[in-house]
Amino acid sequence: MKKLIYLISLSLITIALSSCSQSNKKLENMTTQKNNDYLAIVWENRTYVPFCPVDNSEKGTQIGIVNGDKKDQVYEYKNYSTDDWIISFYKSGEMDNSMLMKEINVTEIPDNLKSDYEWNKK
């Protein structure tokens, strides 16, 4: 019985440490760039433009914040490279929606995605 309690305690400590190290991971600080039609996110040498709304369940790991605002969050898009796709999410507490952002030079669009924005139709 003592061995079982020890193993459970050790497991809980491991989970807590893992969770703590993930929350302490340094988030990238990204910026914005205003265009006539949209607000882009700039990260290193890449520019991401709004592509289409996606379900919040599509968010992967949080990778950054925009302009130092902890509520303006950026996430990985599940199963896709952050070189091509990211998800922008503003945590307001009211109708929090996720926007899929496409790196401006990406031309190969997954079959399940469609954008109605003019700047993506060029």
Q: According to the 3-state scheme, what is the secondary structure of 96-121?
A: CCEEEEEECCCCCCCCCCCCCCHHHC
> Would you state the pLDDT for residue 20?
46
Any domain includes 11: no
| Residues 57, 65: Cα–Cα separation, whole Å | 19
Domain total in the chain: 1
Residue 67, domain extent: 27-106
> Would you state the pLDDT for residue 23?
53
Q: What integer best gives the mean pLDDT of the chain?
A: 85
> Would you state the pLDDT for residue 43?
96
Q: Measured between alpha carbons, how far apart are the two ends of the chain, in Å? A: 67
Any domain includes 46: yes
Q: Find the mean pLDDT for residues 71-96.
A: 94
